[in-house]
Structures are given as structure tokens and as C-alpha cells.
Amino acid sequence: MTANVMVVVERQFDYPRPDVFRAWTAPEEMARWRGSPGWHVESETVTSELRLGGRHHHVKVRDNDPTTRVTTDAVFTEYFDPDVFVARQRITGDPGIDPDVPLELRVEFTRTGRDGTLVRIVQGPYEPEVAGFHAKGWELELERLQTYLSGRAAP
């Protein structure tokens, strides 16, 4: 098979764009919500040089099996705070992703209404048989982002 499927996932948040962008890019915030249920990001592994050409790194670990680890190494190919970032990624440890085939991750942050933000994720290319699994993973991660933002906004 050929990796030729791009995953597109969108979610509306009732929080200002700079806040949502920061949750995605600031290492100390990202480590608190990234990962599908049953996974977490090791906070000590998160590094990000938040600029064009900057590097990003993080490791996701399965909660019930810490030996299962997925590592993301990336370089920002676009970075416009708080509008969009694009990263060329190399992901290792995920059996559905060929570590020798780079992925592109594009995350757009569009202002909606007074203080809302539409997040649009485009990532790939994936093999057709695993694309849906990764789309569902993003949906679950965006649920965690909603929970994180809700807790952060509470007094």
C-alpha cells in the first residue's frame, strides 16, 4: 500500500485563539493534555523551539505498559503565533506509521465569534488502513484539550 491519505479533524473551542495556540505549543501545557486516553506525554521529554526551523520532540507512553513508547521528532516548517503551525514529523514506535516516511502536521487556529477558536488538524500521509484510527486518536486528544482548557479557565 501507499501512504496517501490525509487525516482532517476539526473542533470548536470557546476559548480565545492565543490561549488555545499556547496549549498546543508551550511544552509545559502540551504535556498536560496530549495523548489519547490510556496514554500520556512524559513532561520531561517535551522540547519545542517555537519558531520557523525550530525543533520539537516529545514521547507518548502507554499508561498500563510504560515500555510502549511513541516518539515524535519534528521541525517547524511554518510558525505564525497564534494562527498556524506546520511541522514535518518523524514518528517512531507506532506500528501504523513507517518511521522512514515523514508526516506533515498542520494545525490551524481560526477565530470564531468573540472569543472562540476553530482548530483544524491536517496530518499525513497515512496508509489507508490506519488513517481512520489516527483520525479517532486526534478526536480523543481534542476531548482532552477541552477538559484541560475547561480546568485551566476555572477559578
pLDDT-based confidence at residue 155 (cuts at 50, 70, 90): very low
pLDDT-based confidence at residue 105 (cuts at 50, 70, 90): very high
Give the pLDDT of residue 153.
59
Rounded to whole angstroms, the Cα distance separating 147 from 103 reads: 27
Work out the mean pLDDT of the chain and round it to a whole number: 95
CATH architecture of 5-153: 2-Layer Sandwich (3.30)
| pLDDT tens readout for residues 129-145 | 999 999 999 999 999 99
Rounded to whole angstroms, the Cα distance separating 104 from 73 reads: 11
| pLDDT tens readout for residues 56-71 | 999 999 999 999 999 9
Give the pLDDT of residue 16.
97
